[in-house]
Homo-oligomer: A and B are copies of this chain.
Amino acid sequence: MIDLAARNALFLEARTQNGWLDQPVTDEQLRQIYQLASMGPTAANTQPARFVFLRSREAKERLRPALTPGNLEKTMAAPVTAIVAYDLEFHEQLPKVFPHKPEMKDSFAGEQNASKRQTVAVRNGTLGGAYLIMAIRAVGLGAGPMSGFDNAAVDREFFPEGTVKSNFLCNIGVGDPAKVLRRLPRLSFEEACRIL
Q: Which residues of A contact B (CB under 8 A)?
A: 1-3, 5-7, 9-12, 14, 16, 27, 30-31, 34-41, 43, 45, 47, 49-56, 58-59, 62, 93, 96-99, 120, 122-123, 126-127, 129-131, 133-135, 137-140, 143, 145-148, 167-168, 184-187, 189, 191-196
Inside 8 A of A143's CB, which chain B residues have their CB? 41
State A165–B47 Cα separation when bound (angstroms): 23
- Subset of 22 A-B contacts with CB under 8 Å: A2-B10, A6-B138, A10-B36, A11-B36, A11-B40, A14-B39, A16-B41, A31-B189, A38-B186, A40-B134, A43-B146, A43-B148, A45-B184, A47-B192, A52-B193, A53-B196, A55-B195, A58-B196, A123-B147, A123-B168, A130-B131, A131-B134
Q: Which residue of B lies closest to A31 (CB)?
A: B189
B3 near A51: Cβ-Cβ < 8 Å: no
- CB neighbours (8 Å) of A146 from chain B are 43
The closest CB in chain B to the CB of A144 belongs to B41
B11 and A138 contact, CB distance less than 8 A: yes
Cβ-closest chain B residue relative to A39: B11
Taken together as a complex, chains A and B put the C-alpha atoms of A121 and B9 apart, in Å, by 26
Q: Which residues of B contact A51 (CB under 8 A)?
A: 192-194
Give the CA-CA distance A131 to B55 in the complex, in Å: 27
A92 to B191, CA, bound (A): 12
Closest residue of chain B to A120 (Cβ to Cβ) is: B147
Select one of B2, B58, B130, B196 contacting A126, CB under 8 A.
B130
Contact between chains at B47 and A187 (CB < 8 Å): yes
B195 contacts A53, C-beta separation under 8 Å: yes
Do residues B186 and A39 form an inter-chain contact, with CB atoms below 8 A?
yes
Identify the closest chain B residue to A8 (Cβ): B2
In the assembled complex, the CB of A119 is this many whole angstroms from the nearest CB of chain B, namely 9
- Closest Cβ of chain B: how far from A179's Cβ, in Å? 15
Q: Are B53 and A145 in contact (CB under 8 A)?
A: no
